[in-house]
Chain A
Amino acid sequence: MEDITLKNLWKAQDEKLDRTMKANLFIIESMQKQKAQSKLNGLARLKLFAVILGILWSLFLGILIYGNQLQNIYFTVSTGMIMLITVAAVVAYIRHIALIKELDYSQSITTTQKKLARLQASTFSSRFILLQTPFYTTWFWSTEMIQASIIKFCLIAVPITILFTVVTIWLYKNLTPLKMHKKWVNYLLKNDPEQVPVIQAQKFLNEIEEFKTAS
């Protein structure tokens, strides 16, 4: 099959398409009046929801810290750290939303698609949120609790916190795109419905790179 035949076959569909595609392209009026929502804004909406939740959670923690008035240092430090990490996550998500809003579809395909795929894969860069986990095992500690049973504290509470700290740091170090080739990372992410688009985005990023360098 010659080039000219391929191109002629492609052209042969013009008339049919023009005759049969009934899509209403002239929807500008309704777009202006109804402020039509783009179907591609799902990611931004998801992140906005997370931002709202994050702000509410941070405010709640702030109120708790203020109410505690430094009476319990363990509570203040733990809750403060959780709040700090949540605020950092909120800032990161706001940055993502700004990037989504600024996305320019009139840039070259590889540039725009790369930005989009990076945004979708940004869950990896937001994994610092995991670092708050150990603080959920220490907020209820108190001097009274430790003094009442130092042995119980050392045998139960401390090991639990150490375990959570080690696991969290390990996950933080390993849940990265660079470790995607590892079976357990792939298994962990593949079984999480929230992570499927992230994996696809990461694969697409690799495809874009391969597309740009093929020779």
Chain B
Amino acid sequence: MYAVAEIDAEICGATKCRLCTQFCPEGNTILYDETRGTAYVAVDRCKGCEICVGICDDLAKHHAIKMVPIDQVKEGFEISKVGFKRSLVESE
């Protein structure tokens, strides 16, 4: 079992910081939804390094990212299945 990052859309949506998208070592893993104004994670790409957690807690001080075991992720976004999306709202 491994853990992936999960971003609280409510806390993240209240800010416009986008710092986690800049510090993630993986390409297109922490994505940014322009419509909802929040970052979200492609769970199939996340390697669980927790760098984003440190960035959100210590640098941005928003505490919006938590590590969640992969089997407890609800409706995780998988970029390998649906491809890149500018916003998750449009696709629904």
The judgment on whether A and B are partners is no
**Which A residues are closer than 8 A to B by beta carbons?**
none
**Which B residues are closer than 8 A to A by beta carbons?**
none
